[in-house]
Amino acid sequence: MTTRLAVLISGAGSNLQAILDAERTGALDVEVVVVVCSRPTATGVSRAERVGVPTRVLSLKVFRERGADRGDYDSAVAEALRPFEPELVVLAGWMHILGPEFLSRVRVPVLNLHPALPGEFPGTHAIERAHRAARQEGLARTGVMVHHVVAEVDAGPVVLSEEIPLDPEESLDALEQRVHAVEHRLLVAAIGQVIGQGQSKGRAHAVELPLGLTNVKQ
């Protein structure tokens, strides 16, 4: 049975595109039912609009200017998803913390993509931090992981992870390109694993996890 997917983005949406491509080719038995974006100027929204996926843009900055707090914003994001009845939520480059007000309303599994290995470089700018560590400290590898959301930042149960070797002479741009290529592939594979594709196709597997924050810092 096809799994209904909601995708949250904040930027160019290349990871969203990987999901849309996998849906189109049948590599994933999913339907992206809504895309929510946190930035009005983000180009990723157009990727969804081109294929007829409904979009919603909710800017934290605008909410704050109106005097709303973070709980109000989190509730609004959850409310934007509710009419579409997603069975799995994927944070694919979503750049804000979502607190209990979100997770208490979205009672389905929530996955997050993070460009680092488990336990390393939690939060923002993980690729830049790994690049700097390779040059200054001789760090030999970084990676990408997809994991379930829990209260602690970037510490939820890992679905899949993959190591990426580091070269201290490589430019940051080149490293980013290599990391993004792994992100696109690993995210699709992780979604497939969570929905049971490759075993018995079906809905996203519910997991017993505490309410908390997503693994992306603002």
Residues designated catalytic: 114
Distance in angstroms (rounded) separating the CA atoms of residues 97 and 82: 19
Distance in angstroms (rounded) separating the CA atoms of residues 217 and 95: 6
Q: Residues near 49 by Cβ (< 8 Å), separated by ≥ 6?
A: 55
What is the CB neighbour count within 10 angstroms for residue 29? 17
Which residue(s) pair with 204 in the sheet? none
- Give the number of C-alpha atoms closer than 13 A to the C-alpha of residue 24, restricted to the C-beta side: 11
Evaluate whether 201 touches 191 at the Cβ level (below 8 Å): no
